[in-house]
Chain A
Amino acid sequence: MLEVLEALLSSTLEYFPALVFATLGATLCERSGVVNVGIEGMMRAGAFCAAVASISMPTPLGVMMGMLAGAGMAAVHGALCIHWRSDQVVSGMALNLVATAGGTYLLESLYGPNGTPPIQQLSRWHVPGLDAVPLLRVFSGHSALTWLALVLPLAFHALFYRTPFGLRLRAVGDKPHAVATLGLSVPGLRWLAVLGGGLLAGLGGATLSTAVLDRFEQHTPAGMGFMALAAMVFGRWTPLGALLAALFFSAGNALRIGLASSAPGLLQVIPQGVLLALPYFLTLALLGFQGRRTHAPAALGTPYEQESR
């Protein structure tokens, strides 16, 4: 029983960091009032660049290159959405399409269809005392990113709710004109949030290719960016909500993998396709259950114009 629980927890912690980074990135961006459905594309860019960079440099540096790649995609999004006031959903979907086709093209022309060559995975931390404690030992043997993923939402919570910057960020997503009245730059704040969101999404992608796997594969991140969007809505656009929602989704995923591997007989009763659909179905059901009480920032999706009131 204990082993099963440990296996589930361990599997949850494998899947969780990438999702929580992406969810936090989406939350940060959308709290400033800019819709970001391009998270999937930013993750893909991050995953690809991190893997490619890690071939020729130390992996932690590669992860940073991945983050920069995510921020690069976010810069395009920011230029279109903030500067040129384009439709934010369209811009995000365009980024996804470019990342999908461009990633496929670059991967195949540089390394062949299966994936990049294997790279040095991020080193895994074995905490000396923890290894011996039952249950707690699942926290040992992960990369530093897993620890970061557990701490970062708390840091963001503090940032959002305990600092002047957080107050301004939340205000710019709800009432940008009020922020402008205070003499603060609405585009400036939104740029910070969008670029920060891109860094985080890139980090999420880089986590997939450097910590979960040791390469970039054709289908990375396989829809995790869209899961992050759902987790963001489910977590009501808050950092702690993002943490819990990401934990919930990863646990669901771990449960699915765990069920499939530990009880093969179960697959005779419940087909694998149904198990695969389960997290998405649960999300839909929970969102439907959550109902009309929307928690989205009030100005989400509306481009800001200085002159309009």
Chain B
Amino acid sequence: MGEKLRSVLPSVFSVLLALAVCWCFIALTRDAQTATEAYFQMLRGGLGDWPAFLDGGRVALLTRPLGEAAIKASILLLTGLSVAVAFKVGLFNIGAQGQMLMGALVAALVGAWWELPGPLHVLAALLMAGLAGGAWALIAAWLKLARGVHEVISTIMLNWIAVSLVDNWLVVGPLRAGAGTSLSTTGTPEILPSAHLPRLLGDISRLNLGFPLALAVALALWVWLSWLRTGFETRAVGLGAEAARAAGIPVTRRTAEAMGLAGGLAGLAGAVLVLGTELRYPGTLGAPYGFDGIAISLIGNSHPLGVTLSALFFGALRAGGTRMQLLGVHKSYPELIQGLALLFVAGRQVWLALLRNRRRAPQASAQAAPAPGPEVPRA
């Protein structure tokens, strides 16, 4: 079994096991038939209603669910990459949520306040959102590097600060649509049409430019981390800061850069959400995509391509999850599957031990000798 395969299999098995456990869970609370039917609904909602389409249905039966899946996946992918990049340099970015909030707010403001020609406007909004997210993350980076505050604690605090300031003050107060008047709306004004992320398939799907953009970002990150010198140095810092410093790598600089980049990616996720689907900063951003990014990144083994696969999978699951509600199965199911999958991924060592056992067993019988017992990585 190759080294590559061995690093991928635990994630795959974890996701499968999570799906199986959740199936049992529905089967126990409802019945087995409902559980199976719910999973089929989830497939149809996430990957398109193929049976109905082949029965002579319209293309929209495929494009609509796939478009929804792609929208969800693009945001999960960007927050997942944010967490993954921070991981590569040895930081645990729990703050993607706050960074995304900041990015979303700035994107909404740039989209609504600035007046620029079409492509330029989208670009400016994306850029500013990335910068805002990056700046928010750099606070944590500075606290870590200059003051020794652990990034897990500081990013958690920064999340709460962002939520309190943005959701509880700015978008219901000074920045809300019609602030200063007696209008009692929440959320910022609608962004101008020139700032909308263009839809790729017109009216038959909500799929927008955010999806290819997220894929391109993943590809660029993969190239950077695998092939470029600064990317290599970044990974070296994550693998061992002391060794990297001894090798003459500017550790502080690489750390700050990676954290800033992580924040920028999370900010971009917020921008894609606002410019692509919400079209303004609503009263509250709702879904904790930033926290989902942690699971997406870890299930994807913090590798840009792995993160892409895991984001695509859970994007489809999310889009399909809404469909399960038709059966009265709660819409938080995909999140439960995601959480369980992460829990099983955390038990990576268990999987590796099981895989090792399986590999050893046939060998031992072939040799027909009491080979040294299966090597369990345990004290």
Chain A residues in the interface with B (C-beta under 8 A): 37, 76, 80, 83-87, 89-91, 93-95, 97-98, 100-102, 104-105, 108-109, 187, 223, 226, 229-230, 233, 271-274, 276-277, 280-281, 283-284, 287-289, 291-292, 294, 296, 304-307
Contacts of B160 in A (CB 8 A): 223, 226, 277, 280
A226 near B149 with CB under 8 A, answer no
B165 near A277 with CB under 8 A, answer yes
**Partner-contacting stretch, out of B193-201, B259-267, B270-278, B340-348:** B340-348
Please pick, from A90, A100, A287, A292, the residue contacting B346 in the complex, using a CB distance under 8 A: A90
Q: A98-B339, A280-B164, A306-B379 are in contact. Are A287 and B149 (CB under 8 A)?
A: yes
Judge whether B283 is part of the interface by a CB distance below 8 angstroms. no
Please pick, from A89, A226, A233, the residue contacting B92 in the complex, using a CB distance under 8 A: A89
Q: A109-B29, A229-B153, A287-B143 are in contact. Are A93 and B94 (CB under 8 A)?
A: yes
The docked-state distance in angstroms from the alpha carbon of A223 to that of B149 is: 20
Residue of A nearest to B288 (CB): A100
Q: Mark B342-367, 1 if CB is under 8 A from A, else 0.
A: 11011111100000000000000000
Contacts of B152 in A (CB 8 A): 37, 89, 229
Judge whether B226 is part of the interface by a CB distance below 8 angstroms. no
A87 near B346 with CB under 8 A, answer yes
Residue of A nearest to B30 (CB): A109
Judge whether B158 is part of the interface by a CB distance below 8 angstroms. yes
The docked-state distance in angstroms from the alpha carbon of A83 to that of B340 is: 19
B128 → A minimal CB distance (Å): 22
A273 near B379 with CB under 8 A, answer no
Q: A84-B347, A93-B294, A292-B148 are in contact. Are A101 and B143 (CB under 8 A)?
A: no
Pick 29 A–B contacts, CB within 8 A, sort by A: A80-B343, A84-B349, A89-B92, A91-B343, A93-B94, A93-B342, A94-B339, A97-B342, A97-B343, A98-B340, A98-B342, A98-B343, A108-B330, A187-B379, A226-B156, A229-B153, A230-B153, A274-B165, A276-B169, A287-B147, A287-B149, A287-B154, A288-B143, A289-B147, A291-B148, A292-B147, A296-B150, A304-B379, A305-B379
Instruction: With A97-B343, A105-B333, A273-B166 given, name 9 new contacts (CB 8 A).
Output: A85-B378, A93-B295, A97-B295, A105-B332, A229-B156, A271-B168, A271-B173, A277-B165, A304-B379
The docked-state distance in angstroms from the alpha carbon of A296 to that of B150 is: 10
The docked-state distance in angstroms from the alpha carbon of A33 to that of B279 is: 47
Contacts of B377 in A (CB 8 A): 85
Q: Please indicate which of the listed interface residues A37, A89, A273 has the most CB atoms of chain B within 10 Å of its own CB.
A: A273
The docked-state distance in angstroms from the alpha carbon of A83 to that of B332 is: 31
The docked-state distance in angstroms from the alpha carbon of A297 to that of B349 is: 25
The docked-state distance in angstroms from the alpha carbon of A226 to that of B342 is: 19
Cβ-closest 10 pairs across A and B: A273-B169, A97-B339, A306-B379, A273-B168, A277-B164, A276-B164, A101-B335, A101-B336, A94-B343, A98-B339
The docked-state distance in angstroms from the alpha carbon of A233 to that of B29 is: 41
Please pick, from A86, A101, A271, the residue contacting B338 in the complex, using a CB distance under 8 A: A101
Contacts of A102 in B (CB 8 A): 336, 339
How many chain B residues sit at the interface, stated as a range, is 35 or more
The docked-state distance in angstroms from the alpha carbon of A83 to that of B94 is: 25
Q: A91-B346, A100-B335, A280-B164 are in contact. Are A294 and B148 (CB under 8 A)?
A: yes
Contacts of A281 in B (CB 8 A): 157, 161
Contacts of A90 in B (CB 8 A): 298, 342, 345-346
Contacts of A304 in B (CB 8 A): 379
Chain B residues in the interface with A (C-beta under 8 A): 29, 92, 94, 143, 147-150, 152-154, 156-158, 160-161, 164-170, 172-173, 291, 294-295, 298, 330, 332-333, 335-336, 338-340, 342-343, 345-350, 377-379
B169 near A272 with CB under 8 A, answer yes
B169 near A86 with CB under 8 A, answer no
A288 near B147 with CB under 8 A, answer yes
Contacts of A86 in B (CB 8 A): 346-349
Contacts of B349 in A (CB 8 A): 84-86
Contacts of A292 in B (CB 8 A): 147-148
The docked-state distance in angstroms from the alpha carbon of A100 to that of B160 is: 17
Please pick, from B150, B172, B339, the residue contacting A101 in the complex, using a CB distance under 8 A: B339
B377 → A minimal CB distance (Å): 7
The docked-state distance in angstroms from the alpha carbon of A280 to that of B154 is: 9
B345 near A273 with CB under 8 A, answer no
Contacts of B335 in A (CB 8 A): 97, 100-101, 104
A49 → B minimal CB distance (Å): 17
A284 near B298 with CB under 8 A, answer no
A94 near B379 with CB under 8 A, answer no
Contacts of A276 in B (CB 8 A): 164, 168-169
B7 → A minimal CB distance (Å): 14
A309 → B minimal CB distance (Å): 13
Contacts of B166 in A (CB 8 A): 273
Residue of B nearest to A288 (CB): B147
The docked-state distance in angstroms from the alpha carbon of A100 to that of B343 is: 13
